[in-house]
Amino acid sequence: MSKTKFLSPGALPQWLSELAAKATVYAPRREGRAVVYRPHIEGEAPELALRPTESAKHVLFPRAEALFSFTKQGEAEKSGRRLEVQEPAEPGPAVIFGALSCDARGFLSFDPVYEGSGTDGEARDPYYLKRREKTALVVRACKRPLSTCFCHWVSGGPASGQGADVLATEIEGGFFLQAFTERGDALLDAPSLAEATAEQRAEADKAHCAADKAMGEIPDLGPAQESLLDLFDSAEFWRDRSAHCLSCGACTYLCPTCYCFNITDESSGLAGVRLRSWDNCMSPQFTLEASGHNPRPGKSARLRNRVGHKFSYYPKIHGGRFSCCGCGRCIKSCPSSVDIRKIVLDAIKEVGHV
Amino acid sequence: MSMQDELKSAVRAALADCDCVIGWGPGPEVLRRSPLFARQEADADLFRADFQAVNNPALFLPEYKGRKVGVVVKGCDARSVGQLVNEGLIRREEVHVIGFPCDGVIDVGKVAARLEGLCEPGEVTSLREEAGAVVLTHPGGELKLEKNDVRADKCGRCRFPNALDADLFIGAPMEPSTGEDPYDDLKALESRPYEERMAFWEREMSRCIRCYACRNACPLCVCRDQCVAVSRDPHWLTQSDGVRDKLFFQIIHASHLAGRCTGCGECERACPVGIPVLLLKRALSRRVEDLFAYRAGIDEGRPPLLTFSLDEPAIKERHW
């Protein structure tokens, strides 16, 4: 679980081909102004200069997936009709190539939830877990942060190998590759890769140190959990923080750690599917009750939930881990520039924990 | 007094009888401001009206109906205010409109293209304005960009850089830089065969994540929590995320905006994955202008598709 290799840029297409021979490879591709993860096409160079606009979570947690399909059969009389149910095809092996450290850490927030944490494993989610088991992550280390990056606030780092199977670090003349798991070792067992030297490892270590150093100071987020609870009923605090929020789903759907979904039966005639699709707590329907009552009637209550969930309620039941990997996509791509960092720091300050 | 200082004074003065004043303040990145809601005098000092004053603050006005609010507007934002008034979605007397001369706003995507090979927009550490240009500081040095090269497309066809209807106008009014809208963007798309156009939309929509930022950033999108896209009972639209399903929503959105869209472009700017959804609205705006001689946010009165007139002068069929 500690194999190291060296990838020269010229060998990248070959390595991708080798990986693609055994698994579906998802790699960043530039489309219009965005960088999105797409199934790799032979001969295409992945976009590694710009950071992906979206996270890679849809590879494990599709935007819409049929949990099963059904067909009603027989006569429409009382007892004669049967429901034929078909399970979806098993997911195949996959590799997410060129994800960021924060993307890999994002799945660590998904895992306990979908493993049924707190339910003695009763509520395990086989759809997610099957994909998780079969998907490897090749992560690239960042060199410089964007002004919206804050992975280091939430126990991550620009070159963190947490959650990665392989970490790729750009060094002179290519990439130093380091495996962290057996799955990673297997990915590095490829003819296109050369053995890495001790000098190359030292150079990668140096790059990691430089990247860590480029990150700013780390504020103490320890009091966040309590502060956000204390402010739960402060209408004014949340009104001011959410005044410019559009209550759209951009933050949630770009977020590597947001895992909520909706379920609908979509049928046409006698056949249909039970569909699981992404949902988000910024949407009014997220909490709309059958009676018509909505316990989160406006955007301030919805934004309060989003921030509270990530920095208070989730950590409370998951050993203190924030449900945030600090990728900053919610800030960078927010049409209204809502800054979750500022909200958390404001909450701590407001309650007087500083 | 500089225009920015005039703005701050205007905001302070407006706070005397307004619940809040909406404009632009510091954002999380150098290139992006954030909408700012001033409720006390000290907030006024944070206000800026400049090249990064991108968001359309008219978006927020309907939420404040029944209370008096101030709003700082560019020419395009003022058209949204006008249209909201036209449609009775806000009351003119409840809004204190502060206008200023706008010489265009930044398109961060265009800046990103110019920064290519140097850094990403989020690595820019400062911006300063020089006559007709902005100078950015990035990790490798400085980059001077002419504003005309990196401003939003809508600014290149703007005929109303000054608010058409303001209670207070600060600074010297700008001369519009252009005459009629040539609709070059639409013409370019329409010159291609239908199959290619469909392929274009399918390719663009394939990366839609259905966050509905386009819808929520639209000042004239009024269904808010009752949108057909998310209604469950009845379940108008599928949750399936096929490309045509996603395009279907965009067609609905554009249809609802026909003759109401003022072309502020916030739908397209808000899209996190850069889908050119404004094109759909512009296609319908042009048609409404041709048929009904009505320009949303400029001409007064009820939008033609919200009314019915037996004698539409531009519809000739009845005389055949």
Contact A34 B274 (CB under 8 A): yes
Cβ–Cβ of A335/B55 closer than 8 Å?
Answer: yes
Q: Which of left, alpha, beta for A256 (phi over 0: left; psi -120 to 50: alpha)?
A: alpha
CB contact under 8 A, A266 and B266: no
Give a yes or no: residue B155 inside a domain.
no
What's the rounded Cα separation, in Å, for the pair B45 and B47? Answer: 6
Select from B71, B75, B43, B46 the least CA-distant residue to B57: B71
pLDDT band at A76 (very low <50, low <70, confident <90, very high): low
The residue of chain A nearest to residue B236, with distances taken between CA atoms, is: A266
* Structure-block tokens of residue B190: 């329409």
For residue A118, pLDDT over 90 is answered with no
Angle between helices A340-351 and A299-308 (to 10 degrees): 90
The overall average pLDDT reported for chain A is 95
Does B167 lie in the same domain as B135?
no
pTM of the complete model: 0.95
Distance CA A158, CA A250 (A): 23
> Cβ-count burial of A153 within 10 angstroms (0-12 exposed, 13-18 middle, 19+ buried)?
buried
pLDDT of B224 reads 82
In chain B, what percentage of residues exceed pLDDT 90? 84
Number of domains into which chain B is organized: 3
Query: What's the residue count for chain B?
Result: 320
B52, B56, B206, B209, best to mutate vs chain A, most A CBs in 10 Å: B209
Instruction: Examine the domain organization and report whether B57 and B34 are in the same domain.
Output: yes
What does the pLDDT look like over A194-253, one tens digit per residue? 999 999 999 999 999 999 999 999 999 999 999 999 999 999 999 999 999 999 999 999
Query: Are residue B232 and residue B306 in the same domain, yes or no?
Result: yes
Is the pLDDT at A78 greater than 70? The verdict is no
> Residue B269 falls within a domain, yes or no?
yes
Answer yes or no: do B173 and B24 share one domain. yes
Residue A313 is classified by DSSP as I
**CA A312 to mean position of chain CA atoms:** 19
In this structure, the answer to whether residues B283 and B206 fall within a common structural domain is yes
Note whether residue B212 is domain-resident.
yes
Distance separating alpha carbons of residues A333 and A54, to the nearest angstrom: 9
CB contact under 8 A, A246 and B238: no
Query: Which one of A63, A148, A338 has the shortest CB-CB distance to B209?
Result: A63
CB contact under 8 A, B216 and A246: yes
Examine the domain organization and report whether B249 and B317 are in the same domain: yes
Which of A332, A340, A344 is the best mutation test for B, with the most CBs of B within 10 A?
A332
Note whether A243 contacts B: Cβ–Cβ < 8 A.
yes
pLDDT at A25 > cutoff 60: yes
Tell me the sheet residues that pair with B24: B35
pLDDT digits (tens, 9 = 90+) for A283-323: 999 999 999 899 999 999 999 999 999 999 999 999 999 99
Please calculate the CA angle B115-A137-A164 and round it to the nearest 5 degrees.
95
Report ipTM for this prediction.
0.95
Q: What is the pLDDT of residue A121?
A: 79
Q: Who contacts A75 (Cβ-Cβ below 8 Å, separation ≥6)?
A: A81
Residues B144 and B175 occupy one common structural domain: no
Q: Are residues B19 and B115 in the same domain?
A: no
Is residue B98 one of the residues assigned to a domain?
A: yes
My answer on whether B231 and B318 are in the same domain is: yes
Q: How close, in Å, is residue B303 to chain A by CA atoms? A: 25
Chain B residues in contact with A54 (beta carbon < 8 A): 209, 272-273
- pLDDT at residue A354 greater than cutoff 60: no
Pairwise CA distance, residues A59 & A48, whole Å: 18
Q: Which residues of B touch A33 (CB under 8 A)?
A: 109, 112, 273-274
Rounded CA gap, B280 and B204, in Å? Answer: 12
Nearest to A144 among B123, B209, B269 (CB): B123
Structure tokens at A17: 């081909």
Could you give the residue ranges of the DSSP H alpha helices within B73-183? Answer: 75-86, 108-115, 147-150, 153-156
Domain for residue B38, yes or no? yes
Q: What pLDDT, on the 0 to 100 scale, is given for residue B233? A: 77
Same domain, B94 and B123: no
The answer to whether position B54 is within a domain reads: yes
Write down the mean pLDDT value for chain B. 94
Residue B159 CA neighbour count, 13 Å, CB half? 9
pLDDT recorded at residue B178: 76
pLDDT at A2 (0 to 100) = 86
Of A262, A288, A335, the CB nearest to B217: A335
**pLDDT reported for residue A160:** 96
Q: Are residues B40 and B94 in the same domain?
A: yes
Q: Where are the domains of chain A?
A: 1-60+92-215, 219-354
Side-by-side strand order, sheet with B126-130 = B126-130, B133-138, B141-146
Question: Would you say residue B261 lies in a domain?
Answer: yes
Query: How many residue contacts between A and B have a Cβ separation below 8 Å?
Result: 153
pLDDT per position as a tens digit, A53-74: 999 999 999 999 999 999 988 7
Helix B243-256 vs helix B278-292: crossing angle, to nearest 10: 40
> What's residue A119's pLDDT?
84
Other Cβ atoms closer than 10 A to A81? 12
Q: Which residues contact B89 (CB under 8 A, 6 or more apart)?
A: B61, B62, B65, B222
Structure confidence by residue, pLDDT tens digits, B27-48:
999 999 999 999 999 999 999 9
Is B285 in contact with B263 (CB distance < 8 Å)?
yes
**Partner residues linked to A277 by β-bridges:** A64, A262
Which parts of chain B have pLDDT scores under 70?
317-320
The per-residue pLDDT for B313 is: 75
Task: Answer yes or no: is B241 within a domain.
Answer: yes
Q: Does A284 touch chain B (CB under 8 A)?
A: yes
Which chain A residues are within 8 Å of B269, Cβ to Cβ?
335
Query: In the prediction, which pLDDT does B179 show?
Result: 78
Q: How far apart are the first and last CA of chain B?
A: 62
Dihedrals φ, ψ of A137, to 5°? -120, 120
**Residue B196 and residue B286 share a domain:** yes
Quote the domain boundaries for residue B122.
Answer: 108-150
